[in-house]
A and B are shown apart, each in its own frame.
Chain A
Amino acid sequence: MDNMTAAVKMRNITKRFGPVIANDKVWLDIYKGEILALLGENGSGKTTLMNMLSGIYYPDEGEILIRDTPVSIRSPKDAFALGIGMIHQHFKLVDVLTATENIVLGLKEEGRLNLDAAAEKIKAICDAYGFELDPKQKIYNMTVSQKQTVEIVKVLYRGADILILDEPTAVLTPQETDKLFTVLRNMRDDGKAIVIITHKMHEVEALSDRVAVLRHGHFVGDMLTKETNAQEMTNMMVGHPVVLNIERPEPVDPKPRIEVKNLTVRSIDGVLKLEDVSFTACSGEILGIAGISGSGQKELLEAIAGLQVVESGSISYIEDDGTREELLGKDPLAIAGMGVALSFVPEDRLGMGLVGSMDLADNMMLRSFRRGKGLFTDRKSPRALAEKIVSDLSVSTPSVSTPVRRLSGGNVQKVLVGREISSAPSVLLTAYAVRGLDINSSYTIYELINQQKAAGVAVIYVGEDLDVLLELCDKILVLCGGKVSGVIPGRGATKRKVGMMMTRLGGGEEDE
């Protein structure tokens, strides 16, 4: 890599937020024609560092050189002028406008607004790098991956040759991720400098040329991806050796707990979301649910929790002594009272489960406020619970009185999962429990789920990372377009097999 020229040199960059030092004397080089993976745990200062390149923050100390010229980046406009574009985790797009309108927004081009000419230019960019995008499509009609494409094209349209992507794959399906990677490689080959911030080790290994690691705001080191491995990178991130194996204890005395029979669900528009789904979830077992996103996972969990209108079928809750109770037709409160906990983590973390403007303790109360005696609510025990979760799951927050929306995504998730587990459920439903979490926190969550399993809870785990599903789950139910493609034991299942079942009912003829 000697012949590479540095697009960006960051020298001695320090950024403080009050007493907190987010970045401490960081040195970082970004080269042209290279994909750099920036690694670090939640709160290690990766996003802060990149925000200083994109003009959102201004460094307190240090120097930034772009193409060997010292620069001062005071606003996103300055960053654009220098050819730096950042794609944030939360897309900045106007819903009712088309892709083209969003892309030209804020640009001061010569002459009258000519959307057709802009659309032509967008088409050219798409063709050059292999994007698929309809310039006339409105944003609200787009999938997450299409919106991301708009964001990337927006940055390219402004002539950026240094691209920063903050957790670009967090919301994408495996197929969409592959497509994105192809595009990113095309851009690298075109000589652009690309930085991706990610937590997924296999993506780092598959995509990046070099990795740089931050820990607690310090630059720990960088190395070529092909000369390192996941274990070494993780150890550097965390600062001490981490065991990267997920335990899978044998289920103890599994008994059927939830029995779903012939469940059919339609969305409000009449689209079939689940069709004739039947399965049994046992106590002391983790039932994994795999499938391309939107295959009916959300509807399935919500149906069990009583949040979804069901067309036909039955969902029975079976107690240890064998008595059955029908869950359908019960309201969510009654179902939750029976010990079915839903820690559903949707695409929008604060959308369900937590109230962003309320603090940690109050969010704990959302589950327990009915328990207080008399007129007044009990405030002490939720506060104690919040404190326990903060210390047990090492949530990084100034205090339990901080509004949840001020926390970083990973910490929000820990709070939500922690609260659901604390209600001592007999059935735990989780979806995308580790989305956006760094590797260390993810393993904390896996361990929590395993503890629940050992305590005899029936866990239903909807996941997107096949590697994890294969390592963690006792059984894997594969959904394909709302139908059950098959249920296979987690031990001995292969990624290929599950992948086939996700895209084709029953996985085709490819049986062992």
Chain B
Amino acid sequence: MFDVVSFIPRAVMQSIPLLFGSIGETLTEKSGNLNLGIPGVMYVGGICGVIGAFFYEQSCGGAANMNGFLALAIPLLCCLLGSLVMGLIYCFLTVTLRANQNVTGLAMTTFGVGFGNFFGGSLIKISGLDVPSIALSATSGFFSRHLAIADRLGWFGKIFLSYGFLAYLAILIAFVSAYILRRTRVGLQLRAVGENPATADAAGINITRYKYLATCLGCMIAGLGGLYYVMDYACGIWSNDAFGDRGWLAIALVIFTIWRPNVSVWASILFGGLYILYLYIPTGSAGLAMKELYKMLPYLVTIIVLIISSMRNKRENQPPAGLGLAYFREDR
């Protein structure tokens, strides 16, 4: 029998890193920057949080001596700073120097993954353990703490209230950014920058500022996805390459949701569900092969959505018209 009550929370927890990543990428793409470096940014966000938490835990010597606020604030701050630096590098290259966005993004991903694995490996060396991973269970305890009431509410508590605060933050950010994009002056101007920078420029909008702000903010949000993954989903255990291809899935989600962060809330849960569905299917003799096929589902769904949205060919469902193009005022 399919266990819905245990499936949904796992799908949601799986979905939160994707949600963070896709909101970040959506904001970035709305400014006309196609940041393929998001997987790398999420890696960097994760490892920076881990580094901060690792040294704080070491300095305290045990969970009992740790200050709850600092245990949250230090990894958060490290994560945001790390992803911000990634965003700044990307912006400097693509906006200021007008480098090719695809090449820059792919380089950032390679760099981010390498950066994560290098410092992850270093920390493992420092901790001197035999296992190739770092366990930050004390910090993780603070991150995954949920309301005590959840345990007493049965299935309702399990499905809706059993997550750490970052999960609710992700959903909040999703709705807030959707509101900003649709309803505010800033959102309107950001969309104009991504659609037609020359027009936005003529209307007196500072293109460079919007691109930098949207991309850096997007990177910081995406970085939180990496942090959530380590601290909450993986229970504080960092091992190299464990984050996998979630960054790419986040980018696929952006297309899947047709650039709408509020849709991303539901879509990421769907993706999260598809991502772990293989764990819930009965395993027979052919089970192993079937599992691999089930793992394809998120990507398959993305391709189908791409086909459908291209076929319907509605102008609103297309990517921002200026996506991937550097803007230079004196170009004709």
What residues make up the interface of A, taking CB atoms closer than 8 Å to B?
A: 75-77, 80, 92-97, 101, 104-107, 109, 112-113, 138, 140, 405-406
CB pair B205–A105 under 8 Å, yes or no, is yes
Cα separation A95 to B317 with both chains bound (whole Å): 12
Q: Which residue of B lies closest to A403 (CB)?
A: B332
Q: Which residue of A lies closest to B188 (CB)?
A: A101
> Restricting to B292-332, which residues have a CB under 8 Å from any CB of A?
315-316, 318, 321, 332
From B189, B203, B315, contact of A138 by CB (8 A): B315
CB pair A76–B198 under 8 Å, yes or no, is no
Q: How far is the CB of A445 from chain B (nearest CB, A)?
A: 24
Q: How far is the CB of A407 from chain B (nearest CB, A)?
A: 10
Cα separation A97 to B320 with both chains bound (whole Å): 11
Cα separation A82 to B33 with both chains bound (whole Å): 34
CB pair B202–A76 under 8 Å, yes or no, is yes
From A106, A112, A113, contact of B204 by CB (8 A): A106
Pick the most buried of B198, B315, B321: most chain A CB atoms within 10 A of its CB.
B315
CB pair A97–B188 under 8 Å, yes or no, is yes
* Residues of A with C-beta under 8 A to B199: 92-94, 105
From A77, A97, A109, A113, contact of B192 by CB (8 A): A97
Ordered by A's residue number, 21 sampled pairs between the chains whose C-beta atoms are within 8 Å are A76-B203, A80-B204, A92-B202, A92-B203, A94-B195, A94-B200, A95-B315, A96-B316, A96-B318, A96-B321, A97-B192, A104-B188, A105-B192, A105-B199, A106-B189, A106-B200, A112-B185, A113-B185, A138-B315, A405-B332, A406-B332
Chain B contact residues, majority secondary structure: helix
List 9 other contacts, CB 8 Å, given A96-B316, A113-B183, A406-B332. A80-B204, A92-B203, A93-B199, A94-B191, A95-B195, A105-B188, A105-B200, A106-B192, A113-B184
B208 beta carbon closer than 8 Å to chain A: no
Q: How far is the CB of A401 from chain B (nearest CB, A)?
A: 17
Q: How far is the CB of B124 from chain A (nearest CB, A)?
A: 49
How many B residues touch the partner, as a band? 20 to 34
CB pair A95–B189 under 8 Å, yes or no, is no
CB pair B315–A113 under 8 Å, yes or no, is no
Cα separation A109 to B204 with both chains bound (whole Å): 13
B196 beta carbon closer than 8 Å to chain A: yes
Q: How far is the CB of A194 from chain B (nearest CB, A)?
A: 20
> Restricting to B53-87, which residues have a CB under 8 Å from any CB of A?
none
* Residues of A with C-beta under 8 A to B204: 75-77, 80, 106
Chain A contact residues, majority secondary structure: loop
Render B190-220 as a binary contact track against A, CB cut-off 8 A, 1 for contact.
Answer: 0110011011101111000000000000000
* Nearest 5 pairs of A and B residues by beta carbon: A106-B203, A92-B199, A113-B185, A106-B204, A77-B204
Cα separation A80 to B203 with both chains bound (whole Å): 10
Q: Which residue of B lies closest to A141 (CB)?
A: B315
* Residues of B with C-beta under 8 A to A75: 204
From B183, B191, B198, B318, contact of A97 by CB (8 A): B191
> Restricting to B197-256, which residues have a CB under 8 Å from any CB of A?
198-200, 202-205
Pick the most buried of A75, A80, A96, A104: most chain B CB atoms within 10 A of its CB.
A96
Q: Which residue of B lies closest to A109 (CB)?
A: B185
Cα separation A405 to B321 with both chains bound (whole Å): 20
Q: How far is the CB of A72 from chain B (nearest CB, A)?
A: 17
Cα separation A93 to B315 with both chains bound (whole Å): 15
**Contact A105/B203 with A97-B188, A113-B185, A405-B332 known, Cβ cut-off 8 Å:** yes
* Residues of B with C-beta under 8 A to A101: 188
* Residues of B with C-beta under 8 A to A95: 195-196, 315, 321
CB pair B189–A112 under 8 Å, yes or no, is no
Q: How far is the CB of A210 from chain B (nearest CB, A)?
A: 29
Cα separation A80 to B204 with both chains bound (whole Å): 10
Cα separation A101 to B191 with both chains bound (whole Å): 11
Q: How far is the CB of B205 from chain A (nearest CB, A)?
A: 5
Q: How far is the CB of A350 from chain B (nearest CB, A)?
A: 10
Q: How far is the CB of B313 from chain A (nearest CB, A)?
A: 11
CB pair B189–A105 under 8 Å, yes or no, is yes
* Residues of B with C-beta under 8 A to A105: 188-189, 192, 199-200, 203, 205
CB pair A140–B315 under 8 Å, yes or no, is yes
Q: How far is the CB of B259 from chain A (nearest CB, A)?
A: 11
Q: How far is the CB of A458 from chain B (nearest CB, A)?
A: 37
Q: How far is the CB of A375 from chain B (nearest CB, A)?
A: 30
* Residues of A with C-beta under 8 A to B189: 105-106
Q: How far is the CB of A103 from chain B (nearest CB, A)?
A: 10
Pick the most buried of A75, A76, A113, A405: most chain B CB atoms within 10 A of its CB.
A113
Q: How far is the CB of B330 from chain A (nearest CB, A)?
A: 11
Q: How far is the CB of A267 from chain B (nearest CB, A)?
A: 14
Q: How far is the CB of B157 from chain A (nearest CB, A)?
A: 38
Cα separation A406 to B318 with both chains bound (whole Å): 30
**Contact A96/B315 with A113-B185, A113-B188 known, Cβ cut-off 8 Å:** yes
Q: How far is the CB of B209 from chain A (nearest CB, A)?
A: 13
Q: How far is the CB of B191 from chain A (nearest CB, A)?
A: 7
Q: How far is the CB of B253 from chain A (nearest CB, A)?
A: 21
Cα separation A68 to B210 with both chains bound (whole Å): 37
Cα separation A76 to B318 with both chains bound (whole Å): 30
* Residues of B with C-beta under 8 A to A138: 315-316
**Contact A96/B188 with A106-B205, A406-B332 known, Cβ cut-off 8 Å:** no
Cα separation A198 to B183 with both chains bound (whole Å): 40
Pick the most buried of A76, A92, A105, A405: most chain B CB atoms within 10 A of its CB.
A105
> Restricting to B159-207, which residues have a CB under 8 Å from any CB of A?
183-185, 188-189, 191-192, 195-196, 198-200, 202-205
Cα separation A194 to B66 with both chains bound (whole Å): 73
Cα separation A405 to B330 with both chains bound (whole Å): 13
